[in-house]
Chains A and B, each alone.
Chain A
Amino acid sequence: MPRCWECIGTRKRIIYIILALAPILAIILSLFIGRYPVSLSDIGQVILTRLHLANYEVAKVNSVLIWDIRLPRAILGAMVGACLAVSGAAFQGLFRNPLVSSGILGVSSGAGFGAALAIILFHGNTSATYIFAFGFALLAVFLSYMIGQVYNTTPTIMLVLGGVIVSSVFSSLISFTKYVADPFQELPSIVFWLMGSLASADYQDIMVAGVPMLAGVIGLLGIRWRINVLSMGDKEAHTLGVNLKLDKAIVILAATLATAGAVCVSGIIGWVGLIIPHISRMLVGNDNRLLIPSSMALGACFLVLVDDVGRVITGSEIPLGILTALIGAPFFVWLLKKTKGGGW
């Protein structure tokens, strides 16, 4: 971040303030949104009562709806969105390619297979699904990384290739689990999981998945200037004094922890890790010192708002993974058109 607040332009200052406040506003907004209407005073009273700061007589239904359903869902949505966007931004820098997203090293397909496997083996036991999804997400990235090590260094192209190979293997394995799944119980669960949803969010999810997500985000925030240097390419980064192997491993590990933590509670949600870093680039530029935090803020906002749309647009909920792509894809086409010749 710039050291002196005075020496940055007014426009930039406004952008930073908006970016910092936006996720909080989005979370508050989503408390209002839904089939059952609540008022501002309801929300205020429930939150103060539940935090033991005051003792209002609140209706049980309001209390449960606001505190136990809408609030954890919005918080988890913000966390997942922030993690997916920030790892997308970090991978784009690492791979020197703005078309890379958070799933480049196979984290999503690995998680998908883990979840599908747990649904078949443990009949959809929630904690088993989390553990399997998280474990296989890490395994997929580890395998991609090991394939990338074939030449003893970590050339970017080998890593990408490793990601492509591992992703396709796990995609096939997902198809296989679908093929052998019981079509009335397990198959729908697998399909719904793969489409991504925040519907079952509760505070336990936030606590459990929050640990790897927080660790990953802190790692990426810490190393964010190094990502600039890494994006100079292996040869230049080496001559600038970067320990390529270690720094790349840290970025990959942090981004993977964040994404795996997010994916294991939310299922597969595409596009966030691709388009949010792009919007951030347009707003704050390409310096990762700003890009990483602003991607977090925008990703959090985007996912909370898309989830709100999914909750109210039809009678039953539309899975998140469908909506992010439906909203994200046209936007991305427009973006490609706009950034054509924009320097990359």
Chain B
Amino acid sequence: MLLLEINEASFSYPQQNTPVFSGINFRVGPGEIFCLLGPNGCGKTTLLDCVLGIHRLARGSIHVNGEDTRKFRPGELARHVAYVPQRHENSFPYTVIDMVKMGRAVYTGRFSSPSDLDKERAKEALKIVGMMHMRHRPFTQLSGGEAQLVLIARALAQQTPLVIMDEPTAHLDFKHEMLVMETIVKLVRETGLSVLMATHFPNHTFYFENQNIPVTVALLHDQSILEQGKPTEVLTETNVAQIYRVNSRLAEFPLDAGGWLRQLIPLSTLRKEENCDE
């Protein structure tokens, strides 16, 4: 069965005539990574917010596990879909383990607290992302990369088949970017999780492809999806020039283990007048 099915989705902010996006269709199956690519302001986050039920679609429908999300009771969506924000806005310095326990809110009654079982789930999630040793540290004192891993653990503690990530590697250094990517691959491979993510880095999708994870890329352009498919098919120099207005070359290196390592290397930006279709 499909985890997530989006049909003819369109959305516009109130009092604005032009839609942020319209006619969006895509599907996410189990154990799959679906990457939304597109320039800043193209509506990636808005689209994710619609899936998360923060915004309501103007037209179209979103089905999760075969059910229309409009029919969900408040909070029910959180049993199917978890969310990793791009950045957590700090409020109070909760400890790391307390942060992860909040992922159990959907299984905890309004007037009760997480049980011992919930605590175990939170610990398991921290172990998976390798942050168990930090569990008593205040969340606010973690580095950006560590905080991101903890937020991923919180989403795992929620035990949903689908996790939505909004640019999970933004603001991270070289190593932590890799660490988060490896963690995502590990999760998909070992737990069969599906991930829907917005990302700014086309090369991340090649990374997933090289790790033999089923990955689909959708290029958001001009309020709709320009093309979707496997990274090698979709991320061509022509498409990159069209959506990012960047002149780039696709480099390919043979890997020792077989197959190809592909990287898009940006060369220069294109001016508006230049014809990107050659």
A interface residues (Cβ-Cβ under 8 A, vs B): 3, 93, 96-98, 222-226, 228-229, 231-233, 235-247, 250, 281, 285-287, 289, 342-344
Contacts and interface: CB of A to CB of B under 8 A. Distances in A.
Nearest to A225: B113
Contact of A225 (B89, B103, B114): B114
Contacts of A239: 52, 77-78, 81-83, 164
A235 to B, nearest CB: 6
Contacts of A343: 90, 92-93, 138, 140-141
A204 to B, nearest CB: 31
22 contacts: A96-B89, A96-B92, A97-B91, A98-B92, A223-B111, A225-B108, A228-B98, A231-B92, A233-B91, A237-B105, A238-B53, A239-B77, A239-B78, A239-B83, A241-B79, A241-B158, A244-B74, A246-B74, A286-B94, A287-B95, A343-B138, A343-B141
> For this complex, into which size category does the number of interface residues on chain B fall?
35 or more
Nearest to A235: B54
A289 B164 CA distance: 29
A223 B110 contact: yes
B88 interface: yes
Contact of A228 (B79, B83, B94): B94
Contacts, number: 95
Contacts of B98: 228, 287
Interface of B: 49, 52-54, 74-79, 81-83, 85, 88-95, 98, 102-103, 105-106, 108, 110-114, 116, 138, 140-141, 154, 158, 164
Contact of B102 (A93, A240, A243, A245): A240
Given A225-B112, A239-B78, A239-B81, A286 B93 contact: yes
A342 B102 CA distance: 22
B78 A241 contact: yes
Contacts of B83: 236, 239
Contacts of B93: 286, 342-344
A246 B140 CA distance: 28
Contacts of A231: 91-92
A285 B114 CA distance: 18
